[in-house]
Structure 1
Amino acid sequence: MASYKAILFDYGNVLCLNQLESDVAAMAECLDIELSRFKTYYWQLRDEYDVGAFDGREYWTRIAQKGGREITEQQLRQVIEFDNVGWSRPNLVMARWAETLRTSGMITAIVSNMPADIREYLRDLHWMPEFSHYTYSCEVKSVKPAADIFLHCLDQINMKPAEVLFLDDRQMNVEGARQVGIDSYVFTTAEELAPFVRSIGLPDISLNAMV
């Protein structure tokens, strides 16, 4: 049985749900870019946005330019809002489990590739639980799966890699954490995760926490 002292959570697709196709379509329509091309541009430039090399204005302006468009102030405000909202729908089961862990005395932290616009938007979300520490790529200037972002979090929570478990929906990020010695688990659903956490002696995930 593992004896972890801290649990690290990815944000997107773990604590929150994935963006809806309608969210992506709304952003593409806002910028008047064909949907499949918009999706390509969105992810091509995302690391620079997440790491803080681009602010929101530059990120969305560059996407618009790739699509052969100019962007107005109104479009900029609207597309940022669409993006923020799209990444703000809670996975309540996981959010409440994170709170259960923290109140039971464990250290909890977020390790997320996240731009400053979304980070600020999250501050006002009522469903977000409190964490012991937050490691956001836009602050530490490093994106997963690079070692630096994980090492920064370990330093902040004063933990050794062997004392920590990391949950992320992307295999490459899990592998990145493993490279620095952190036990890591590829998250798919709370239902799939529940037997694993029970087997290692962590507090149960309440699968009824859907309301």
Structure 2
Amino acid sequence: MPTDRRIVLFDLFGVIALHQRPGALAEMAARCNAPADAFAEAYWACRPPYDAAQQSAPEYWTAVLRWLSVPVDADTIEQLRLADIDSWSRVDGRMVAYAQSLRDFAEVALLSNIPSDHADSFVAAQPWLRNLDHVAFSGKISAAKPDPAAFHHCLAAMRAAPADFLFVDDREENVRAAQALGMNGHVFTEVDELAAAIDTWLPTGTA
């Protein structure tokens, strides 16, 4: 049974944080003397196990380099790992402020597909994350959206019912997965549209 709780569950990249810095993959490709298109293909094709904590960073980058038939060495792996983390480090300041402001009216949580080492660096650089009611990273919970297990983690961790949540993500397949479990969902495009949706969803007089 749903309660009277209101929990806004945010995705991170493409919502509160910015997507990967433009040109970053081409720069990483150049570090290992690989064609940019082939590097991007390997980067994304090998990514799911890394995001879901089924591979360590060295295992992921080894898989990428082998896909490209590029020599594998520890120095190259570490350079790529650090460049990758840096490429995902930017946030949207307006969205950070908006998410924090919602805590006057609702609980605010985060569910992000992000490897464990990326998560550690992101939390260290973004102390506002520690003020949220719950933060779940795929690399820490061993489940990545749209896998229902990622959403079940949040339900259990927050001891809440699906109907208590409004899940906000820029990827429609992730929002649909949340809705299939009984959560409310919103496909994010920009902050003003989101604010209007949240104002409608919150009880009258709270926002």
- TM-score, scaled relative to structure 2: 0.89
- How far apart are 1:39 and its partner, in Å? 1.2
Task: Kindly provide the CA deviation profile for residues 40-82 of structure 1, in whole angstroms up to 9, marking residues without a partner as x.
Answer: 1111111100011111001011101111102332222221111
Where does structure 1 differ by over 6 angstroms across 4 or more consecutive aligned residues?
A: none
For these two proteins, the number of residue pairs brought into alignment is 201
| 2:124 counterpart letter in structure 1 | D
Distance in structure 2 (CA, Å) of the matches to 1:177 and 1:72: 40
**One-letter identity of the residue aligned with 1:177:** A
Shift of 1:159: 1.1
Equivalent residues in 2 for 1:1-211, closer than 5 Å = 5-102=6-103, 104=104, 106-126=106-126, 128-129=128-129, 130-201=131-202
The corresponding residue for 1:208 is none
Question: Which stretch shifts more, 57-66 or 92-101?
Answer: 92-101
Q: In 2, distance between residues paired with 1:83 and 1:100?
A: 30
Measure, in 2, the Cα distance between the counterparts of 1:170 and 1:69: 32
Q: Distance in 2 between matches of 1:9 and 1:62?
A: 30
Stretch moving more, 88-97 or 185-194: 185-194
Question: Does structure 2 conserve the Cα–Cα contact (< 8 Å) formed by 1:31 and 1:71?
Answer: no
CA contact (8 A) 2:6 2:202 kept: no
Percent identity of paired positions between Structure 1 and Structure 2: 29
| CA apart distance, 1:4 | 5.7
What CA deviation, in whole Å up to 9, does each residue of 1:13-45 have, x standing for no partner?
111101122211111112222111111111111
User: How far did 1:109 drift?
Assistant: 1.2
Query: Cα 1:172–1:198, aligned 2, differ >3 Å: closer, same or farther?
Result: same
1:127: how far off?
6.0
Change (3 A) 1:64 1:179: same
Q: Which region of structure 1 is more displaced relative to structure 2, 163-172 or 64-73?
A: 64-73
Amino acid across the alignment from 1:37: A
Deviation at 1:196, TM superposition (A): 2.2
Mean Cα displacement is larger for which, 145-154 or 69-78? 69-78
Q: Deviation at 1:195?
A: 2.6
5+ unaligned residues in a row in structure 1: which ranges?
A: 205-211
Cα distance in 2 for partners of 1:4, 1:85 equals 36
- TM value normalised by structure 1: 0.88
> Cα deviations across residues 126-175 of structure 1 (Å, max 9, x unaligned)?
46442111122122221111111101101111111111100011111111
Distance 1:127 1:191 in 2: 25
**Residues 175-197 of structure 1, C-alpha deviation per residue, up to 9 Å, x if partnerless?**
11011000111112223323322
